[in-house]
Structure 1
Amino acid sequence: MKSLRSMIAAGVLVPLLLGGLAGCAGTTVDQYRAQQPTLDLRQYFNGTIDGWGMFQDRGGEVKKRFHVVIDAKWEKKDGVDVGTLDEHFTWSDGTTSQRVWTITRQADGRYSGSAGDVVGAADGEAAGNALRWRYVLALPVDGKVWNVDFDDWMYQMDDKVMLNRSEMRKFGIRLGEVTLSFSKR
């Protein structure tokens, strides 16, 4: 086995590290630019939408299931499109919760969002049938609040159905994921 010093001298380690970093680059929303139907948040999230989802821990075990009803509307404020998504959750353990998103469409087609339990602003980018949201959620866990990073992807399947997959991380460590299916009434 070669020592670290001999691997560096032989020029082996640098390509390995660069290859590993390239693998971390991940998927970008631009990859979906040609996919149809074109996702327009203002059009899809307008009216009442039902969603069914689950949270799985990093081992894949389903820890919680939920149903969400979203009452969504958009209006122009100072010439800017602003949406309100009023989400009402019913969890498998019988508890309920609510989150109200305020989403603003930026001039460049990106979106910014805020909600009471979102730390700072959510940043969204859409292309083709996909939307990627990135934000930090203040998540209550066992009497404490954890600030958890969400990498949230939505894919519009047709005019009624959208699929959503979110990966949750804390300190870069994958905690689990949320999977959702939306159906527009």
Structure 2
Amino acid sequence: MLWRMRSFIGALCAAVLVAGCGGVAVDRYAGQTPAMDLRTYFNGTVNGWGMFQDRGGEVIKRFTVRIEARWEGDTGTLDEHFSWSDGTTSRRVWTIRDLGNGRYTGRADDVVGEATGEANGSALRWRYVLALPVDGSVYNVDFDDWMYMIDDKVMLNRSAMSKFGIHLGEVTLSFTRGAP
């Protein structure tokens, strides 16, 4: 019985490691246009519409977000104001640093540690751990964001959420630059 348990745990760990190693590299989008430039896109007002789906695909929450963004030198501030379908509101303020060569780092109050980003061509991959409140508890959840420029006004964002390598759900967003 003990060997079965060890085999199961070993197989589970291997599956989690393999799942974490897959995926598309951001370099795959090199040369695609329009080019992803956070300093240009997130400068001024950006509006977004999105939804959170659980791992089964059910839409759990919908939301809108209004972002007021500005840059001073290589440091940007994205002040995000969310309105959720359940009537609640929330706010997140990102401080993003442009490291050059398509690399970014970021911090926010509900982000554990530092977010890292890499842009190439029309895409950006943004990874971070979010302290997510759920029913009176807070869970540290891994986010793997992919943002894609559609044109100079529209960007699409798809985020996979996971914990211990287990897929929890997805967030899908559409952003538009400029006031509505």
TM-score range, shorter chain: 0.7 to 0.9
- Cα-to-partner distance string for 1:9-30 (whole Å, 9 max, x where unaligned): xxxxxxxx9xx95994310100
Q: Distance in 2 between matches of 1:147 and 1:24?
A: 20
SS of 2:125's partner is: strand
**Contiguous gaps of at least 5 residues in structure 1:** 1-16
**Contiguous gaps of at least 5 residues in structure 2:** 1-13
Q: How many angstroms does 1:136 deviate by?
A: 0.1
**Please, which of 106, 116, 120 is the counterpart of residue 113 of structure 1?**
106
Q: Distance in 1 between matches of 2:68 and 2:20?
A: 39
Q: Distance in 2 between matches of 1:44 and 1:109?
A: 14
Specify the alignment match of 1:65 in structure 2.
62
Would you say how many aligned residue pairs link Structure 1 and Structure 2?
Answer: 163
**Structure 1 vs Structure 2: percent identity of aligned residues?**
72
| Pair 1:28-2:25 in alignment | yes
SS of 1:94's partner is: coil
- Cα-to-partner distance string for 1:128-161 (whole Å, 9 max, x where unaligned): 0000001000000110000000000000110100
Specify the alignment match of 2:91 in structure 1.
98
Sort the Cα spacing of 1:96 and 1:107 in 2 relative to 1 into closer, same or farther, 3 A.
Answer: same
Q: How many angstroms does 1:108 deviate by?
A: 3.7
**Please, which of 119, 137, 143 is the counterpart of residue 144 of structure 1?**
137
Root-mean-square deviation over aligned CA pairs: 1.6
TM-score by length of 2: 0.87
Aligned pairs (5 A) from 1:162-181: 162-181=155-174
User: Residue 86 of structure 1 aligns to which amino acid in structure 2?
Assistant: D
Sort the Cα spacing of 1:22 and 1:64 in 2 relative to 1 into closer, same or farther, 3 A.
Answer: closer
Sort the Cα spacing of 1:45 and 1:58 in 2 relative to 1 into closer, same or farther, 3 A.
Answer: same
Q: Distance in 1 between matches of 2:136 and 2:37?
A: 38
**Please, which of 60, 75, 79 is the counterpart of residue 82 of structure 1?**
75
Sort the Cα spacing of 1:144 and 1:42 in 2 relative to 1 into closer, same or farther, 3 A.
Answer: same
SS of 2:31's partner is: coil
SS of 2:27's partner is: helix
User: Residue 71 of structure 1 aligns to which amino acid in structure 2?
Assistant: E
Q: Distance in 1 between matches of 2:55 and 2:45?
A: 32
Which structure has the bigger radius of gyration? 1
User: Residue 139 of structure 1 aligns to which amino acid in structure 2?
Assistant: L
